[in-house]
Structure 1
């Protein structure tokens, strides 16, 4: 299954990503900063940089 996670660098979001990856799901995680993208990648998610409040990102 493909899953999109918002807030993946937080305590709960990171735990959810780990569980999804453990069960072989493909995870796309949104990050507002490029710095957080490294953490998402380390968790096994495919990071995407953007901000829901700014549609042009």
Structure 2
């Protein structure tokens, strides 16, 4: 049994560009959304407290 390389799934099908993009979005999308929400919330809080 051969091991899957970085460009293949366990089933042997090669991953396309869209598949790789979706994998990266799934891995990093949540963290990016959280960071955006944190930065926006901090900015709004600072604006509200200084007014």
TM-score by length of 1: 0.26
Higher relative contact order (CA 8 A, sep 6+): 1
TM-score, structure 2 as length reference: 0.29
Task: Return the index of the structure with the highest Cα Rg.
Answer: 2
Question: Which is richer in strand?
Answer: 1
Structure with a larger share of its residues in helix: 2
